[in-house]
Structure 1
Amino acid sequence: MPRASFNKDIDAIIVNTMKIFHPRSDCFDIISKKIPDRNKRQIVFRWRNTLDPRLCGDSLTLQEKKFIDNEIFVYLNCNKIINWRKIIENVERHFGRRHGDRKLKYYWFKVKKYQREITGVTREPMFAPTFNNNPFKMHPIF
C-alpha cells in the first residue's frame, strides 16, 4: 500500500501541537499519537525540514557554504562522525539564519560527489595507520 503524503490537515496538527508542546522532549511522541499513520521519525523530519517557522527558505550563501565546509573538515580531521545538528546550530548562531537538515546534507553530499568525479576516486580511502619507524614494534622471540 503506498504511503500517504503529508497534507495541510496533518501539517496543521503538527504546527499547532508544536506551538503548545515544543520545549518538551516528548513533543514528537505526542504528535505521533495524534497522527496514527505517521511515526515519530517522519514527523521530526517534516518539522525540521519544512514546517519549522524558524527555517530560512533562501539558498545557502557562499559564506555559509564555506563555514559548513570548515565545520565538516574539523569533524573529518578528528575522525569523528559529522554532527549535523551541531553544524546547523552553529550556522544559525553565526549567520542568524536556520536551514533544514536536508539542505545542509544535500549541499555537502553534492560537494563530495563533485570531488569524486574530479578526482576519479569512487570510494573514500579507508584509514590505515602507518607503522614506519615505530620504536614499539613487537619482535618475535624466536
Structure 2
Amino acid sequence: MRSKAFYFTEEDDNMIIKHMKTYGKFTNRFVIISGLLNEKFTCSQISERWRNYLNPELCKDDLGYYEKVIIDHEVQKFLMKGDKIKIRWRKVIRELFRLFGKLYSENKVKNYWNMKYRKGKREVETKILFI
C-alpha cells in the first residue's frame, strides 16, 4: 500500500531514469514505470518527479530577463481569459522552449510567477495600509 508521504531514493530515481530510456516514447510510460516499481509511487508522482527533477534535458540555469518577460506575457494571456486557476504551465514551458531552446522545470516557472504575484499583492496591501 502506498503512503501519502512519498520519498524518492537515489535508487528510485535511477530506476525511473533507466525505465524512461526504454518507455519514454510510450503515452502510458508513467503507468508502466509505476508497475515496474511495484506501485511504490503513483504514475502522477513519477511524472512530477520526471518533469521537475530527473529529466536530463532540464535547464538548471536561473531564468533570464527575457524568459521572465515571456512567462509574464503567457500568464497574462490566461488571466485575460479569466483563467486564474487554470494557468496552463506546460504551454508556458513549451513557449519558453520554442523561443529559447531551454526546457525549464514546471516548478521553476511556477515558483517565479507565484513569488512575483505574492510580492505584487503585498505591495498593494502595504500601499492601502499607508493611505
Q: Distance in 2 between matches of 1:78 and 1:92?
A: 23
Q: Does 2:112 correspond to 1:110?
A: no
State the structure with more CA Rg. 1
Percent identity of the aligned residues?
A: 32
Q: Distance in 1 between matches of 2:12 and 2:107?
A: 20
2:104 alignment partner in structure 1 = 99
1:139 alignment partner in structure 2 = none
Gaps of 5+ in 1: 122-142
Q: Which runs of 4+ in 1 moved over 3 A?
A: 1-4
Choose the corresponding residue for 1:64, options 37, 50, 67.
67
Choose the corresponding residue for 1:52, options 48, 51, 55.
55
Q: Distance in 2 between matches of 1:2 and 1:41?
A: 13
Shift of 1:3: 3.6
Query: Whose helix fraction is larger, Structure 1's or Structure 2's?
Result: 2
How many positions carry a matched residue from both structures? 121
Q: Distance in 2 between matches of 1:66 and 1:29?
A: 36
Q: Is the 8 A contact 2:6 2:41 kept in 1?
A: no
Choose the corresponding residue for 2:30, options 25, 28, 31.
28
Question: TM-score when scaled to structure 1?
Answer: 0.80
Question: TM-score when scaled to structure 2?
Answer: 0.87
Shift of 1:4: 5.0
Q: Does 2:82 correspond to 1:79?
A: yes
Q: Which has the higher contact order (CA 8 A, sep 6+)?
A: 2
